Amino acid sequence: MNRFATRRFPEARLLGAAFGAAIFFAACTASPPAPGPKGGTSEVAPSTPASVVTIPTASADTKPSVAKEADDQEARRARFAQLTNDLSEPDAEFFSDNLISNETSYLQVADSLSKHARPDGVYLGVGPEQNFTYIARTHPKLAFIVDIRRQNLLLHLLYKAAFEEAKSRSHFLSLMLGRSHADANDSAATDGIDAVLADVGKDSATSDSFAATHALLMKRIDGYGVNLSAEDKKHIDALHKAFFDGQLGLRFSLKENNGRTYPTLSEVLAEKGPDGKPGGFLATEDGFREVQTMEKEHRIIPVVGDFAGDHALPGVAAYLAKENLVVSAFYVSNVEQYLFAGFSPGYRRFYENVATLPLDATSTFIRSVPGSGGTPALPPGFLEIGAGATIRLQTVDSGGARIFVATGTDSAGNAISKRAVVPIPPQDLASTSAFISGLANMRAALSAYSAGQLSSYSRVQLMTKTEGWER
């Protein structure tokens, strides 16, 4: 397996997308404060983007008029556009194109989230479609998808348009895959995921169907008010074309092929939970409709941001504090694994950012961590080479070991070359997904960080509960 990543220190955009998943600038410049005593959230919030639209929530027992609902919907759209535009940071490179997830264990924690997540909280996430399942299970009032790659923002705009346009679950998938769709092939509310996937295959996938479907979705995307360049629109076209070309056989891929076979889109969507039943967002009508309603009401907000950056997450925190909203769940996948690998500014800035988020005793990290034995990570301090350096990282799996090679120049222009060899546990060699999902209390993590007890990724793993959530 070869992976390449170029980073400029200290300005590097941090790896904000997971190996198993994938992470989301305008006015916020204040650095977030360090965590308070015992990891509590800070009382000091960074500056929020100017003139962010605040939307009053209608009372549950009042029925707004058609005109008022239209006004509220336009206000929500304006909020969506402003938050996406104002909170987003510049694009950054990542070593994989995370069009779909490669995590096959994402449902391990879904039932626990359904039972224990704070209702009407805020969901934060990273990467592509696995977020929709967690959103459907946690029932948030608002969601932010924060990813280091602008591509992920553009992909979520495509998803948003498909959700809004879809009459059914099968129609939704047909739109994403650029297929034609007949009303007769709409999935029924009682259909399971296998029937939904079968319905999608009943209609044609041609160049004409792709052109018509793409034009339909782009008309919606153009109306959102998100700042999109001509290049962005070309990228959206390329993303949609990738779904059209791959269809239900589309797979997660690295930019450098590692020889592994990752699950297909149909396999990810049909994934079963610990109870042996499919549990993704398209497995039930209720799950799909909940996410669809949030998309229609502009309550799932994609943002380009580095988890350890100085703008996106602090800006989200400031907005939530202003609106008196509390984070219920934060899906971070295995991003922390990269933060602890030495990429500047690293894990410290991430936890300082998390400390600015409004939390309560139930706020939960959703993680994807290496399974038994773990996937080899960079040795501690391997990339701590000083400010102003430029590094190109290459990893190669050979003979049961992972070889890390870092080359580049330091701030004085001197050549840098470092090499490390780490054994690969046998169970990882044949695995398509060496990660398992787990949960961790966010306040407990901040308390451990504040006490100096969270100084390595192995400590993160130890604090993540990957089984027995009900005990």
The ranges assigned to domains in the chain are 3-60+83-375+425-462
**pLDDT greater than 60 at residue 356:** yes
Strands in 62-141 per DSSP E: 96-97, 122-125
Mean pLDDT of 171-177: 98
Going by pLDDT thresholds of 50, 70 and 90, the confidence category of residue 37 is: very low
Going by pLDDT thresholds of 50, 70 and 90, the confidence category of residue 387 is: low
Buried b (16+ CB within 10 A) or exposed e, 63-102: eeeeeeeeebeeebbbbbbbbbebbbbebbebbbbbbbbb
Beta bridge partners of 440: 365
Mean pLDDT of 216-232: 98
Which pLDDT score is estimated for 427? 42
145 close to 300: Cβ distance less than 8 angstroms? yes
Mean pLDDT of 343-357: 87
**pLDDT greater than 80 at residue 288:** yes
238 close to 213: Cβ distance less than 8 angstroms? no
**pLDDT greater than 60 at residue 38:** no
Going by pLDDT thresholds of 50, 70 and 90, the confidence category of residue 29 is: very low
Percent of the chain with pLDDT over 90: 54
Mean pLDDT of 113-142: 94
Which contacts qualify for 49-56: CB closer than 8 Å, 24 or more apart?
49/82, 49/83, 49/86, 49/87, 49/315, 49/319, 50/86, 51/82, 52/79, 52/82, 52/83, 52/86, 52/319, 52/322, 53/78, 53/79, 53/82, 54/79, 54/322, 54/323, 55/79
Higher-pLDDT residue of 435 and 330 is 330
Helix (H) or strand (E) holding 354: helix 346-355
Which pLDDT score is estimated for 386? 62
C-alpha distance across the termini of the chain, in Å: 39
How many angstroms separate the Cα of 272 from the Cα of each of 45, 195, 456, 466? 41, 15, 32, 16
pTM of the model: 0.76
How many angstroms separate the Cα of 444 from the Cα of each of 45, 324, 347, 439? 20, 22, 16, 12
Give helix 193-200 / helix 169-176 axis angle, nearest 10°: 50
How many angstroms separate the Cα of 448 from the Cα of each of 116, 351, 366, 370, 453? 22, 10, 17, 21, 5
Mean pLDDT of 399-427: 66
Which pLDDT score is estimated for 425? 53
Which pLDDT score is estimated for 461? 86
Beta bridge partners of 333: 367
Beta bridge partners of 403: 396, 421
Going by pLDDT thresholds of 50, 70 and 90, the confidence category of residue 185 is: very high
Buried b (16+ CB within 10 A) or exposed e, 273-299: beeeebbbbbbbbebbebbbebbebbb
Phi, psi of 332 (to 5 degrees): -110, 0
Mean pLDDT of 202-224: 97
Percent of the chain with pLDDT over 70: 71
Token pair in block for residue 301: 């907000």
Which pLDDT score is estimated for 385? 61
Phi, psi of 376 (to 5 degrees): -55, 130
Which pLDDT score is estimated for 380? 62
Instruction: Say which range, 109-118, 145-154, 220-229, 329-338, has the weakest mean pLDDT.
Output: 109-118
How many angstroms separate the Cα of 129 from the Cα of each of 268, 287, 396? 9, 13, 29
Instruction: Say which range, 77-86, 94-103, 430-439, has the weakest mean pLDDT.
Output: 430-439
